[in-house]
Chain A
Amino acid sequence: MATATLHATDSQAHGHDHEHEHHELGFVQKYIFSEDHKTIAKQYLISGIIWAFFGGAMSIIFRLQLGFPNMDLTWLKPVLGQWIVEGKLEKEFYLALVTMHGTVMVFFVLTAGLSGTFSNFLIPLQIGARDMASGFINMLSYWFFFLASVIMFSSLFIETGPASGGWVIYPPLSALPQAMPGSGLGMTLWLTSMALFIVSQLMGGINYICTVINLRTRGMSFTKLPLTIWAFFFTAILGLLSFPVLLSAALLLIFDRSFGTSFYLSEIYIGGEALPNVGGSAILYQHLFWFLGHPEVYIVLLPALGITSEIIATNSRKPIFGYRAMIGSMLGITFLAFIVWAHHMFVTGMNPFLGSVFMFLTLIIAVPSAVKAFNYITTLWRGNIIFTPAMLFSIGLVSLFISGGLTGIILGNSALDINLHDTYFVVAHFHLVMGAASFFGLMAGVYHWFPKLFGKMMNKEAGYIHFWLTFVGVYCVFFPMHYIGLAGFPRRYYSFTALGNGRMEAFVDMNMFISIAAILTFLAQAIFAVNFFYSIFKGKRAPQNPWNSNTLEWTAPIEGIHGNWEGEIPAVYRWPYDYSKPGSAVDFIPQNVPYSATPESNFPEENEEIAKEKEIEGLLDSQNSSYSH
């Protein structure tokens, strides 16, 4: 289907680009407006990496303010211009940095960069499909994201500054330009950008779901799917069901801002005048926002967990422990993710009874999360572990997921949340459990699939150094942050002078320490950037299956051809985790090896599967016709 579309457009447009062979794509179609999932994945990845450096740099600037409040920042004036006043960061710009850091990291790096890259790249390759269900929609998805990026980026350069009301942009602050400068044009651009971003996510999500359901190769039943695919599948469902709610929240906010409606506004006196709006509810926005906002946590986390499952199994040379329990827990998390949103709102004045209900539901979600953590640990047990950089980042992810997840048990308890809500304890919690953990998933994925993405190997030693510096750095930044939160330091504070009673002074050291650790961790990412871009061009050529992995993508040609496989797509006969199977001479048996070829390692029930192999073979014709060859 996808290839057919490609060929059709190929023969119509851009004829002048074709000086070579007839079916060779032109530069624009091959690298820019590409419909090939592998190219789109790379586009997402590189956009994500660029955004990550911007988002990280923003955090460094506000960490300078928090760690060194008396520092003379005049040296930043060439970059920040009028946002530096008399050597100090402007208070509004501080809030703008906090807001944009959150927006960029959550949406552009960890949603688009992570899920966009690996769902696009791995779904067709691991399920055995020639491409996405619709290459064209997939291309649109990236370019909508690109447009959203351009608009968001442009908002950094306007005079009134980018959106500054926090990444959650709660109205009325975000609805009233007179409330802060960032709620003017900056917020308009933010909302426009996010609307386009949501469109991009929906197009991507529909594609992922369709592809997983319809385009699996013969023999690839749902119970033979790698856990990466399960994770991407659940992620896409989460996004598809929750992003539209954010879109409507954003639309209503646009109406309130531009067309005088009162969805979120009521009884407001600001700037010396009483506004006419009555009857709206600021809490309504929060419900709508967090109906996406909470699933969003799992939208960034589940792909990282899926990637980790695959990498830990491969490099432990062991099957993932509890394959079905892993799927079940992801299903549980996916379902529960929709009904825990109001734990972000315990102290907003919401009915306390609702608070009780959401506390109950929130603490339930700890159970499937705990199961996942235990299963990862058991997978390591009695393995034969190879520490590739990807494996290191995966183990790091599990550690961060546990450490950050545990404090969720405290915050999910509404009685305890009263004191800790909107303090640095929350900041520490979610940076560990969703920020750093998902970032580690992204890194693990890049190191693991780089040979497949670019046909080259990354430098391992640089990868090790990158991991250890980042891992130690992340803990040094976010572990002490819990203490600051427990001392009652509210987040989004430009300075802590108003706390009084020597409370600020008690944590001056700690804040300085965190800032230094953050700067070092950020600088350590340069090792990755150099390694990444250097290896794309100068890296050693990758072997066919560098990690001796079972999944289907490693059977495809190294150079990543259009349509993924030459000739027939391989059929699948077994699950993806036959590592170190007793009786087998090699410690891995890829999914496309039939049971009939491995009588020495088959379990009794697997010998019965041999009979079905003929059946799987017989599906070839129908599969070929479904790809319209």
Chain B
Amino acid sequence: MTYLIGLLSVVFFVLAIMIVSKSMSLSKGIQGTEQDQDTPLDGANNANAIGFIVFLVLGSIGAAWSFLHSKPDLLPIAASEHGLKTDKMFWVSMGVITIAFFVTNALLFVFPFMYRYKKGNIATFYPVNHKLELIWTVIPAIVMAVLVFTGWRTWRDITSQAPDNAVVIEVTGHQFGWYVRYSGNDDNKLGNNNYKLIDATNSIGIDYTDEKSFDDFTANEIHLPKGVPVLLKIKAQDVLHSVYLPYQRVKMDAVPGMPTKFWFVPNKTTDEMRYITGNSDFNYKLNCTEICGSGHFGMAITVFVDEPADYAVWCKQQKPFLTQNPDFLAKVPEKLKGKAQKYIEAPAAALDSTQASGATPAAATSLR
């Protein structure tokens, strides 16, 4: 930090001193001939011309140094399959624009120095050159075409239909947090929900007239299996939010009234990342990237990427929302009550206390 501030102050200071001293000495010398418009102030003119060269040199050093300095923290390690591809494409594009950046800026700063005003010099009358213009229209056009084409192919793959075996997880944004719902251990299908059914307990308005809801479970953290396609179904309750998984390179807005989705394949478990980063407290986060109110900056939920086997174990440990809140059985239509009944623990527990103990494992197994 001290280096940075030092560098900045030096740059500012040197420039200021340089210009002040140049122009002071100049305005002294020039006072007599001030009205003469045909002789621009040569000294200040040269100082400004040199200024561009100084800026070019110091700026290039600053750009290169600051880049190398922050490189380790740029684009945090990609932890999804498409993330590896987009990162690669990013660095290729970055290479192209870096070349353009240095070449054009160098010309832009060197020309003023080379062709600064000199008494007696006459500028070259050079109004047009169609060949030159054609060249620098066509070259950017070709470069753009290549970039567009590769970008389009990657974009098409990322936004394609999720594979059928994808694990479906629903993420719902609200002020200020995320609700997560899993499609359950039995049918891998999310049940309907409806914002009008939201109450103090049923915070995402799960609709229990839909039998697919019965085995859905909620959680306070997100678990994802490694190496398996994951389909996020994204919703919002109140205002816009945006799902952002920085390591997985996932971003998609959550829009009230319009479900969105994003599928990807996580490829590094939390443990692997802890090992790679050497940080035993490492955790993936899901942040919000669409302004949503005062708590926007703190709207995060922890994400764990597990080995598929560990993920399966974790899922098995989760109890369906219906099991945890048996009151909602009352909302289930009569004809589906039978199907819903198997997710209700209480009768099983009651059975357990009065009858032989063999019933409990059976009921518990049916949960899984």
Contacts and interface: CB of A to CB of B under 8 A. Distances in A.
Contacts of B341: none
B238 interface: yes
B106 to A, nearest CB: 10
Interface in B1-53: 1, 4-5, 8, 11-12, 15-16, 19-20, 23-24, 26-27, 35, 37, 40-41, 44-45, 47-49, 51-52
Contacts of B51: 468
A499 B285 contact: yes
B118 interface: yes
A270 B283 contact: no
Contacts of A381: 111, 115, 124, 126
A623 interface: no
A496 B258 contact: no
Contact of B256 (A282, A392, A460, A503): A282
Nearest to B3: A509
Interface stretch (B286-294, B305-313, B318-326, B331-339): B286-294
Contacts of A166: 291
Interface stretch (A40-48, A170-178, A206-214, A294-302): A170-178
A153 interface: no
B331 to A, nearest CB: 16
B260 interface: yes
Contacts of A91: 294-295, 297
B279 to A, nearest CB: 6
B298 interface: yes
B37 to A, nearest CB: 6
Contact of B258 (A349, A370, A377): A349
B116 A385 contact: yes
A123 interface: no
Given A416-B90, A419-B86, A422-B290, A384 B121 contact: yes
B195 A274 contact: yes
A500 B112 contact: no
Interface stretch (A133-141, A351-359, A436-444, A529-537): A351-359
A399 interface: yes
A278 interface: yes
A506 B73 contact: yes
A539 interface: no
A269, A360, A416 pick with most chain B CB within 10 angstroms: A269
A480 B297 contact: no
A54 interface: no
A322 interface: yes
Interface stretch (B132-140, B220-228, B344-352, B353-361): B132-140
B91 to A, nearest CB: 10
Interface stretch (A260-268, A560-568, A605-613): A260-268
What interface size band does chain A fall in?
35 or more
A377 B289 CA distance: 38
A627 interface: no
A148 to B, nearest CB: 23
Interface stretch (A103-111, A114-122, A240-248, A510-518): A510-518
Interface stretch (B151-159, B162-170, B210-218): B151-159
Nearest to B157: A415
A126 interface: no
Contact of A479 (B24, B66, B122): B66
Contact of B255 (A348, A384, A502, A506): A348
Contacts of A419: 75, 83, 86, 90, 246, 249, 251
A447 to B, nearest CB: 13
Nearest to A180: B293
A193 to B, nearest CB: 20
Given A398-B108, A472-B15, A355 B159 contact: yes
A415 B123 contact: no
Interface in A485-507: 486-488, 490-503, 506-507
B297 A367 contact: no
B205 A269 contact: yes
B44 A464 contact: yes
Nearest to B298: A498
Contacts of B76: 487-488, 503
Interface stretch (A23-31, A229-237, A313-321): A313-321
A153 B148 CA distance: 43
A316 B196 contact: no
Contact of A493 (B141, B144, B296): B296
Nearest to B132: A378
A620 interface: no
A461 B148 contact: no
A274 B253 contact: no
A418 B158 contact: yes
B186 to A, nearest CB: 28
A507 B73 CA distance: 9
A175 to B, nearest CB: 9
Nearest to A488: B246
B19 A468 contact: yes
B190 interface: no
Contacts of A274: 195-196, 198
B244 interface: yes
B107 interface: yes
Given A91-B294, A409-B97, A282 B240 contact: yes
Contacts of B5: 512-513, 516
A347 B23 contact: no
A592 to B, nearest CB: 19
Given A347-B251, A422-B242, A384 B101 contact: no
Interface stretch (A8-16, A196-204, A577-585): A577-585
A323 interface: yes
A421 B256 contact: no
Interface string B190-216: 000001101000000100000000000
Contacts of A460: 23, 41, 44
A385 B115 contact: yes
A305 to B, nearest CB: 15
B123 A383 contact: yes
A319 B129 CA distance: 12
Contacts of A487: 70, 73-76
B151 to A, nearest CB: 4
B101 A406 contact: yes
27 contacts: A173-B239, A173-B291, A269-B205, A270-B239, A282-B255, A321-B126, A321-B128, A355-B159, A359-B152, A378-B132, A380-B111, A382-B126, A384-B117, A387-B44, A387-B117, A403-B105, A410-B93, A419-B90, A461-B44, A464-B44, A468-B51, A476-B11, A479-B66, A490-B297, A499-B287, A507-B73, A543-B35
Interface of A: 91-92, 95, 165-166, 170, 172-173, 176, 179-180, 265-270, 274, 278-283, 316-325, 347-349, 352, 355-356, 359-360, 363-364, 366-367, 370-371, 373-378, 380-387, 392, 395, 398-399, 402-403, 406-407, 409-410, 413-416, 418-419, 421-423, 460-461, 464-465, 468-469, 471-473, 475-476, 479-480, 483, 486-488, 490-503, 506-510, 512-513, 516-517, 520, 543, 546, 548, 577, 579-582, 587
Given A268-B257, A413-B93, A488-B75, 15 more contacts: A91-B297, A318-B126, A321-B129, A325-B133, A352-B155, A360-B148, A367-B137, A384-B122, A386-B117, A416-B93, A483-B74, A493-B297, A501-B279, A507-B70, A508-B1
Interface of B: 1, 4-5, 8, 11-12, 15-16, 19-20, 23-24, 26-27, 35, 37, 40-41, 44-45, 47-49, 51-52, 55, 59, 62-63, 66-67, 70, 73-76, 83, 85-86, 89-90, 93-94, 96-97, 100-101, 104-105, 107-109, 111-112, 115-118, 121-129, 132-133, 136-137, 140-141, 144, 147-148, 151-152, 154-156, 158-159, 174-175, 195-196, 198, 205, 234, 237-240, 242, 244, 246, 249-253, 255-258, 260, 277, 279, 281-283, 285, 287-300
What 3 A-B pairs have minimum CB-CB distances, sorted nearest first? Answer: A266-B257, A349-B260, A352-B159
